[in-house]
Amino acid sequence: MTASTPAHDPNCIFCKIIAKQIPSRTVYEDDELYAFHDIHPWAPVHFLLIPKLHIPSMAQLDASHTALLGRMMALVPKLALQEGCNPYPDGGFRLVCNTGAEGGQEVQHLHFHVMGGPRPWLRG
Ligand code: AMP
Ligand code: ZN
């Protein structure tokens, strides 16, 4: 964390969700991470996994975030199965992390989209 990346941004919608100022449907929570259902799901299963630390995007990541990112990645398959994704290899899931305007990022707080379930999907 640096002066330019505060732990929480009072104007950030996902920081407000973490602080329970905006309601969400919780999938998982611990000291460092929060997961919740996407409000506009593309797939039968579609949730977002975010760090509680306000990191705007993947573009701000550095070596100090390695353990945090490792925890996020290791949690994804567990939560995907918990939320109803079918097992690998016939099932599986899609992991997406939009980064920046050209990467299609709309909310400036790092988030992994986890999508899965039987096709067809609305998008993706
Ligand atoms: P991105 O385009 O990758 O930044 O995706 C942002 C995602 O956040 C979109 O899929 C939105 O549907 C989702 N989203 C925005 N506001 C909320 C909210 N209040 N609760 C749950 N998901 C949200
Ligand atoms: Zn935030």
Domains of the chain: 13-43+53-116 (3.30.428.10)
Q: What's the pLDDT score for residue 64?
A: 97
Catalytic site positions: 111
Q: What's the pLDDT score for residue 120?
A: 97
Q: What's the pLDDT score for residue 3?
A: 47
**Distance from residue 113's CA to the centre of ligand 1 (Å):** 9
d(CA 68, CA 81): 21
Give the number of other Cβ atoms within 10 Å of residue 91's Cβ. 15
- The answer, yes or no, to whether any atom of ligand 1 lies below 6 A from the CB of 98, is yes
Q: What's the pLDDT score for residue 5?
A: 59
Low-confidence stretches of the chain (pLDDT < 70) are: 1-5
Atom of ligand 1 nearest to the CA of 22: 19
Closest CA to 54 of 19, 91, 104: 19
Q: What's the pLDDT score for residue 36?
A: 99
